[in-house]
Structure 1
Amino acid sequence: MTEIRGERDSSGGSAQARRDRREQTRSALLAAAERLWAERGIHGASLDDIAAAAGLTKGAVYSNFAGKTDLLLALMERFTADPGIDVCDELQAAEQDTDCTGRSSPRQSAPDDRARRLALLLVEFWLYGMRDYAAGWRIADWYAERRARLASDLPPADDMTPTDRAALTLALDLGLTLQHLLDPTQVRPDLYKTGKTLVQRQTP
């Protein structure tokens, strides 16, 4: 009986070690996919490329994900679950970091590499979702979850529901971010504060 218990303990420990290794493998693949898909596009980086960038074999991809769409959806899940991942961080920071003239501080003058990579990835998600139904519904859910979070902080105003105002705010967030990343001189970060005031202002 002692030997059997020992085997069970050993098996349990091995199972935990396998789970840990599996999680490390998934994290490495997700990180590689995020980087390569932002740099090359989803159709420009194969599963072989992602596996190689993660220091793994293609078999490791298929032992963790059913295919490219499954890997993409897992990456979307990570974006949704982590509130710290936000392509609009730079513009939102500028809202709190302006002087009395409305100009942003010098540290906000150049786009952040992380923001640029996230913006590229978000565009790639959108394009892929427009062409692939399985990915499209999850990406639509991502937008819906963001709108819901925004709406929870917005009271009705100007005969517009919080949900509608949240949709306009999200359009401002993403649209202005993409313009700013392309042309930070002409589309300044402090425009975000002005736009948000216009979209979210309440009726007197």
Structure 2
Amino acid sequence: MTDTRGERTRRPSGGSTRARPGRREQTRSALLTAAERLWAERGIHGASLDDIAAAAGLTKGAVYSNFAGKTDLLLALMERFTADRNTDVCEELRAAEEDTDHTGRSSPRHDTDDRPRRLALLLVEFWLYGMRDYAAGWRIADWYAERRAQMASELDPTDDIAPDDRATLTLALDMGLALQHLLDPTRVPTDLYKTGKTLMRGN
């Protein structure tokens, strides 16, 4: 009977354990979404963990039960935004433009809910945060190194430039052109990225 009671007590526990990841993922998702919006609007130093928790309708305790701190939340957001390592900011900006009405100055850069614009802003925020915080900086640098390595592994070798160097230049082109385009969409079209990527990546 002891064994039977033990089995009965383990079964509800197992069901509860299976249910917890769903609630935990919902909480994490809400916090990441709030961080994404606030950090894009205000910058990382302009929105505290308290602000993020409040925007998500949660307490600060919920933040620390899911993330070790601001840097951990920041890295989780990077991974969420760039889970697809083939995603290019410029290509997303171009796709967003194709879905909008072209009316001169009315461009995606004025839409605070535009994902490509948020992505560009957040990547800049991540870089600035890493430049100011040594502990965060090397972790962010490692993340970029992994992304470059993944990109390089997909490139065919050439006689002129090593795949690692081409991946570095392609990533720099993507971000640099995206930032110029967001400020000056008419004179810096995203189509330039396709030309530059062809030169750097050979495809």
Range class of TM-score, shorter chain: 0.7 to 0.9
2:189 corresponds to 1:191: no
Give % identity.
77
Q: 2:25 corresponds to which residue? A: 23
Q: Is the 8 A contact 2:155 2:163 kept in 1?
A: yes
| Cα distance between partner residues in 1 of 2:192 and 2:87 | 22
RMSD: 2.6
1:15-164 aligned at under 5 Å gives the runs: 15-83=17-85, 86-90=88-92, 110-111=107-108, 113-164=114-165
Deviation readout 1:75-133 (Å, 9 max, x if unpaired): 22334534475423336759xxxxxxxxx978596437111111110000000011112
TM-score (norm 2): 0.82
Which structure has the higher relative contact order (CA within 8 Å, separation 6+)? 1
Distance 1:85 1:30, change over 3 A: farther
| Cα distance between partner residues in 2 of 1:85 and 1:192 | 13
TM-score (norm 1): 0.82
- 1:81 counterpart letter in structure 2: A
Distance 1:163 1:83, change over 3 A: closer
Aligned length: 193
Return 77-86 or 123-132, whichever deviates more. 77-86
Return 33-42 or 186-195, whichever deviates more. 186-195
- 2:139 counterpart letter in structure 1: R
Distance 1:174 1:194, change over 3 A: same
Specify the SS of the correspondent of 2:57. coil
- 2:148 counterpart letter in structure 1: R
Deviation readout 1:50-85 (Å, 9 max, x if unpaired): 001111011111111222122112222334534475
Q: Is the 8 A contact 1:41 1:124 kept in 2?
A: yes
Q: Shift in Å at residue 170 of structure 1?
A: 1.2
Mind listing any 5+ residue stretches in structure 1 that lack a counterpart?
95-103
| Cα distance between partner residues in 1 of 2:108 and 2:183 | 9
Distance 1:52 1:152, change over 3 A: same
